[in-house]
């Protein structure tokens, strides 16, 4: 069996990548990721039969492992050979903890090899297409992709010392379920439980971030440059952000955020660093040009790496679960210690300052605590008719021209409409001059993709304030952009919360079979985007 991957929005022909990922992932890497996930399923099979402590130990490894397989996170085959070996060791350790032998173990729980060539051969047998029934395949992969998003959020929270046993338990339960013959209804129920778990994981991460760094606050962020050498930090990991800022203090090196790290500018704990210079660039897919002009080193803390150009290959570093062949990797922090960014800092001091690619400012920091502090103002604006509708346009950005749709929607929306956003989708419209409504900006940026939790809390609070019984009675439309698996987790979270009528684009997921799509349409009213003018017209009418 050759490569087959359809986990992201850019799946070739909206069917699946079969020779090389549109993301740049080679066939061998894709198949090693398949084998790693197969191994994680075996870990889950044993952990499901053990106690909570075993589930936590397995769940934490599963979370890190699934995170490594998210689109654009890790392209390094050697890292995956190592992860597979670690996974097999953990699986065998869990097996020894069983109180008695268990019969009927699936292949994922028994296959074993320490030989890379055998691993390579095995990897061709365990991919997505190994599940023959297209609807079962669809529901299993839908669940696994949701788990990848949950895993990313759980991992970030765990780094900050926060976790929820229910999340570890569900990662184990759900992966184990993909080895069993479940009915369609049972698999749909697991998807809803994944949505519930996604809400829990985002809540834990929100608590981890805000209790450590303070509640995000309204912030004006500089998008120009200074005259000092700089380090560009991209991704989602705020712990890496903190340690880099502390280690660069007093070195003469400025730190800039990129893409999904932009919301770090909104946290009070980071504002005290005078060398924290602002944000450089745009969404992840423009990095091949923007990393060239930045001139200094770049630190990738999580996913969203595109194939690295030779012109900056000697300046790019990865850390955490991110990886790229030939890029230098910053090891994990030792227990109770910190990551060592001295190599990046030393390189930065030899580089020229960043080349300016734009000037001006953008405003963000509208997470739930900040918006709820303005609740009276928002409610008054709704009651007076100054604000007639909210449109949630969160999610992911991507390189396809079809994504210009979201820019067009932002321009077409009436001036009495407010856009609520989180994630890198905002780069399609966060630099437009859309004005404000009585001092309330028309684009309220809650932060990273995990801060979609804030958008859900805001909606639930408005439901309470207006005394409504159903969240769908609110004047809120959902026009969601998706690209990778964290967006899948957010989608499942919204479905669990009862949100209906979500528009999803630029295409519906390739991993959703026609029969599964019918369930989503019939039960939740999920629909594809059409054109900006038509969709805006419908949303204004609450359709």
Predicted confidence at residue 2, as pLDDT, reads 82
DSSP for residue 473: G
71 has which bridge partners? none
For the chain, give every residue range classified as CATH 1.20.1270.20: 12-212
DSSP assignment, residue 313?
G
Domain with CATH 3.40.50.2030 in the chain: 219-348, 383-540
**Cβ neighbourhood burial of 534 (10 Å; 0-12, 13-18, 19+):** exposed
- pLDDT tens digits for range 348-398: 999 999 999 999 999 999 999 999 999 899 999 999 999 999 999 999 999
- Please give the average per-residue pLDDT across 435-441, as a whole number: 95
Report residue 283: phi and psi, to 5°: -70, 165
pLDDT of residue 101: 87
* Cα–Cα distance, 275 to 278 (Å, whole number): 9
4, pLDDT greater than 80:
yes
Look up residue 537 and give its two tokens. Answer: 């017209």
Question: pTM here?
Answer: 0.97
Q: How far apart are CA 74 and CA 149, in angstroms?
A: 15
Q: How many other CB atoms are found less than 10 A from the CB of residue 292?
A: 13
| Helix, coil or strand: residue 362 | strand
In a 13 Å sphere around the CA of 539, the CA atoms on its Cβ side amount to: 31
Closest listed residue to residue 242, CA positions, set 223, 255, 227 = 255
Quick one: CATH architecture of 219-348? 3-Layer(aba) Sandwich (3.40)
Contacts of 346 (CB under 8 A, 6+ apart): none
Residues 6+ apart with CB under 8 A from 400: 9, 10, 506
Provide the pLDDT for residue 378.
Answer: 92
pLDDT at 253: 98
Q: Is the pLDDT of residue 279 over 80?
A: yes
pLDDT tens digits for 493-507? Answer: 999 999 999 999 999
The 10s digit of each residue's pLDDT in 84-129 is 999 999 999 999 999 998 999 999 999 999 999 999 999 999 999 9
Find the radius of gyration of the CA atoms of the chain.
Answer: 23
Question: Model confidence at 217, in pLDDT bands (50, 70, 90)?
Answer: very high
Rounded mean pLDDT, 189-218: 98
> How many Cβ atoms from other residues are within 10 Å of residue 2's Cβ?
11
Residue 256: predicted pLDDT: 99
Is residue 182 over pLDDT 90? yes
Residues 18-74 pLDDT 10s: 999 999 999 999 999 999 999 999 999 999 999 999 999 999 999 999 999 999 999
Mean pLDDT of 223-250: 98
Under 8 Å between Cβ of 232 and 253:
no
Q: Could you read off the pLDDT of 304-329 as tens digits, one per residue?
A: 999 999 999 999 999 999 999 999 99
Residues 7-18: what's their mean pLDDT? 97
Mean pLDDT of 210-236: 98
| 443, β-bridge pairs | 419
Work out whether strand 503-505 and strand 328-330 pair parallel, antiparallel, or are unpaired. Answer: unpaired
Class of domain 383-540: alpha beta
End-to-end CA distance of the chain: 44
Phi-psi region of 72 (alpha: psi -120 to 50; beta: other; left: phi over 0): left
Nearest CA to 140 out of 3, 41, 60, 70 is that of 41
Least trusted range by pLDDT, from 2-6, 66-70, 296-300: 2-6
The band of 518, judged by pLDDT with boundaries at 50, 70 and 90, is very high
pLDDT at 40: 98
CATH number of the domain located at residue range(s) 12-212 in this protein: 1.20.1270.20
């Amino acid at each position: 069996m050759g490569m087959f991957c359809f986990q992201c929005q850019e799946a070739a022909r909206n069917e699946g990548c079969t020779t090389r990922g549109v993301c740049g992932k080679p066939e061998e890497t894709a198949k090693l990721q398949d084998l790693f996930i197969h191994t994680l399923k075996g870990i889950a099979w044993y952990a499901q039969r053990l106690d909570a402590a075993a589930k936590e130990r397995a769940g934490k490894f599963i979370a890190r492992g699934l995170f490594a397989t998210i689109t654009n996170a890790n392209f390094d085959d050697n890292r995956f050979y190592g992860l597979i070996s670690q996974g097999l060791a953990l699986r065998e350790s869990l097996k020894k903890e069983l109180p008695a032998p268990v019969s009927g173990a699936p292949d994922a729980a028994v296959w074993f090899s320490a030989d890379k060539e055998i691993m390579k051969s095995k990897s061709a047998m365990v991919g997505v297409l190994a599940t023959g029934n297209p609807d079962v395949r669809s529901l299993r992969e839908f669940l696994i992709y949701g788990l990848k998003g949950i895993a990313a959020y759980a991992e970030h929270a765990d780094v900050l010392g926060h976790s929820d046993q229910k999340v570890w338990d569900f990662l184990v339960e759900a992966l184990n379920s993909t080895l069993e013959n479940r009915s369609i209804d049972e698999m749909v129920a697991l998807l809803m439980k994944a949505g519930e778990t996604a809400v829990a994981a985002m809540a834990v991460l929100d608590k981890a971030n805000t209790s450590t760094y303070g509640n995000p606050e309204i912030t004006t962020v500089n998008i120009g440059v200074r005259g000092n050498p700089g380090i560009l930090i991209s991704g989602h990991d705020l712990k890496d952000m903190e340690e880099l800022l502390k280690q660069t203090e007093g070195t003469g090196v400025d730190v800039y955020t990129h893409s999904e790290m932009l919301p770090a500018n909104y946290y009070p704990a980071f504002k005290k660093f005078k060398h924290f210079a602002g944000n450089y660039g745009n969404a992840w897919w423009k990095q091949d040009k923007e990393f060239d002009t930045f001139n200094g080193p770049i630190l990738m803390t999580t996913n969203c790496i595109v194939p690295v150009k030779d012109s900056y290959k000697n300046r790019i570093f990865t850390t955490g679960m991110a990886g790229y062949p030939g890029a230098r990797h910053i090891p994990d922090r030792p227990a109770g210690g910190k990551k060592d960014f001295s190599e990046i800092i030393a390189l930065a001091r030899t580089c020229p300052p960043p080349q300016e690619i734009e000037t001006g400012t953008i405003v963000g920091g509208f997470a739930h605590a900040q918006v709820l502090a303005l609740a009276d103002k928002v409610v008054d604006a709704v009651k007076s008719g100054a604000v007639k509708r909210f449109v949630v346009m969160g999610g992911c950005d991507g390189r396809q021209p079809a994504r210009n749709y979201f820019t067009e929607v932002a321009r077409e929306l009436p001036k009495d409409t407010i856009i609520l956003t989180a994630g890198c989708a905002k780069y399609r419209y966060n630099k437009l001059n859309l004005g404000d409504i009585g001092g309330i900006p028309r684009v309220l940026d809650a932060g990273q993709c995990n801060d979609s939790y804030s958008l859900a809390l805001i909606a639930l609070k408005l439901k309470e304030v207006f005394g409504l019984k159903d969240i769908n009675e609110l004047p809120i439309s959902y026009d969601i952009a998706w690209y990778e698996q964290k967006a899948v987790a957010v989608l499942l979270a919204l479905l669990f919360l009862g949100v209906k009528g979500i528009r999803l684009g630029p295409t519906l997921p390739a991993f959703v079979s026609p029969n599964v799509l019918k369930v989503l349409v019939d039960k939740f009213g999920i629909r594809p985007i059409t054109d900006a003018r038509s969709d805006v017209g419908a949303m204004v009418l609450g359709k």
